[in-house]
């Protein structure tokens, strides 16, 4: 049985659904976030849903014991600095303190493995977007979001040996794909969820931005994250406390527009030069790569393949 926190978030939902489809029994925890579509689909696939505040250690312990939880995946997060800086106390609690509760329960052997979903945003002083970032690159967090996510990683690392190499952090970056579609430009989500929604759900034929074309990111398709977690859950222990999962390549918004325009001639997407608004609260950095050869860190989807699969989902949504 797997316990997953943040089940109503983009990554948490997708992983829960993927694991349940692959015959894992999943218990999903959510707090205030609620989505009827996600709730209905998760229940359809027999995911047990529990509303619970992660700061309540007693209730977490009861859930773990009641459902005989074997592994935990920590997907809960205040997930971007544009949100984190407006609610610092909550950010510290969710990104650090509640994660530490799970580490202490793991130390007491209440469950086996713990995987923490982290972020490439812990790297904020990279001089060039061409510099590739592996697990040995020194993190340089300097925002509330980045600092708290980095502290979560430090907590994982400090408990790595004590908890018998059964805990690790998986850094991901600019994850896109089902079911994340946005009606408005949401910088922390990147351009793809907005473009796909406007073009293929609302059937707009033209989207023009005055700027933003120079913004680059190592967009990662959600299925790659789900497949990595699926393989990691099956490991007996982890060889490292931190892993990177990413395409290994940065794509610009100009590239995103080129793929869309070429594959859908009746649609037109155009960006002007510049980085705004996607760089307003985000650092343009190099892509995440891994120095390890493990199969679970190999991604399957390049930008074109991921985009087209996402569009097929949107058309039927």
83 pLDDT band, cuts 50/70/90, is: confident
Domain that holds residue 270: 176-218+250-287+300-315
Same domain? For 266 and 162 the reply is: no
204 pLDDT band, cuts 50/70/90, is: very high
Cα separation, 70 vs 52, in Å, equals 19
Same domain? For 86 and 112 the reply is: yes
Cα separation, 42 vs 179, in Å, equals 12
Span 252-263, mean pLDDT?
A: 97
pLDDT of residue 281: 61
In degrees, rounded to 5, the angle at the alpha carbon of residue 248 between the alpha carbons of residues 230 and 275 is 115
Q: What is the distance of C-alpha 128 from the center of its chain?
A: 23
151 assigned to some structural domain: yes
Same domain? For 201 and 124 the reply is: no
- Say yes or no to pLDDT of 64 above 90: yes
- Say yes or no to pLDDT of 112 above 90: yes
Q: What is the mean pLDDT of the chain?
A: 93
pLDDT of residue 183: 94
**Percentage of the residues of the chain whose pLDDT score is greater than 70:** 99
Higher pLDDT pick, 141 / 126? 141
CATH number, domain containing residue 133 = 3.40.50.720
Helix axes 98-107, 57-66, angle to 10 degrees: 50
Same domain? For 30 and 168 the reply is: yes
CATH number, domain containing residue 275 = 3.90.25
Instruction: Look at residues 17, 168, 173, 2 and name the one whose alpha carbon lies nearest to residue 99.
Output: 168
pLDDT of residue 34: 77
Same domain? For 22 and 72 the reply is: yes
Single pTM value for the model: 0.95
186 assigned to some structural domain: yes
What single-letter DSSP state applies at residue 38? H
280 pLDDT band, cuts 50/70/90, is: low
294 assigned to some structural domain: no
pLDDT digits (tens, 9 = 90+) for 217-246: 999 999 999 999 999 999 999 999 999 999
275 assigned to some structural domain: yes
- Say yes or no to pLDDT of 95 above 70: yes
134 assigned to some structural domain: yes
295 assigned to some structural domain: no
pLDDT of residue 316: 81
Structural domains of the chain, count: 2
- Say yes or no to pLDDT of 308 above 90: yes
- Say yes or no to pLDDT of 47 above 80: yes
Cα separation, 15 vs 20, in Å, equals 8
Cα separation, 139 vs 125, in Å, equals 8
Same domain? For 59 and 164 the reply is: yes
Per the CB < 8 A criterion, the answer to whether 139 and 98 are in contact is no
283 pLDDT band, cuts 50/70/90, is: confident
Higher pLDDT pick, 49 / 188? 49
Cα separation, 21 vs 175, in Å, equals 21
Same domain? For 258 and 113 the reply is: no
Measured CA to CA in angstroms, residue 63 lies from 4, 48, 108, 117, 187 at distances of: 11, 11, 15, 21, 36
Can you read off the two tokens belonging to residue 316?
Answer: 């039927």
Same domain? For 154 and 272 the reply is: no
């Amino acid at each position: 049985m797997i316990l997953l926190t943040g089940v109503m978030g983009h990554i948490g939902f997708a992983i829960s659904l993927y694991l349940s489809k692959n015959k894992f029994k999943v218990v999903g925890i959510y707090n205030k976030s609620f989505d009827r579509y996600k709730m209905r689909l998760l229940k359809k696939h027999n995911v047990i849903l529990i509303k619970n505040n992660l700061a309540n250690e007693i209730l977490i312990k009861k859930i773990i014991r009641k459902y005989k939880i074997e592994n935990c995946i920590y997907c809960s997060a205040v997930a971007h600095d544009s949100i984190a800086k407006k609610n610092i106390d909550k950010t510290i609690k969710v990104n650090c303190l509640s994660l530490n509760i799970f580490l202490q329960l793991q130390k007491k052997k209440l469950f086996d493995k713990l995987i923490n979903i982290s972020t490439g945003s812990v790297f904020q002083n990279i001089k060039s977007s061409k510099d590739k970032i592996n697990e040995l690159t020194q993190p340089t967090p300097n925002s509330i979001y980045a600092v708290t996510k980095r502290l979560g990683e430090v907590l994982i690392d400090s408990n790595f040996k004590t908890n018998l190499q059964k805990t690790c952090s998986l850094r991901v970056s600019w994850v896109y794909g089902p079911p994340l579609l946005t009606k408005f430009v949401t910088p922390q989500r990147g351009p793809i969820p907005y473009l796909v929604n406007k073009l293929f759900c609302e059937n707009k034929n033209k989207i023009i931005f005055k700027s933003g074309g120079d913004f680059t990111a190592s967009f990662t398709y959600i299925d790659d994250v789900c497949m990595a977690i699926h393989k990691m859950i099956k490991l007996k222990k982890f060889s490292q406390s931190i892993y990177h999962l990413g395409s290994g390549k940065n794509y610009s918004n100009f590239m995103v527009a080129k793929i869309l325009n070429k594959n859908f001639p009746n649609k037109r997407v155009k960006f002007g030069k510049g980085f705004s608004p996607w760089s307003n609260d985000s650092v343009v950095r190099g892509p995440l790569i891994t120095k390890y050869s493990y199969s679970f860190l190999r991604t399957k989807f390049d930008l074109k393949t991921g985009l087209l699969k996402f569009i097929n989902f949107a058309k039927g949504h």
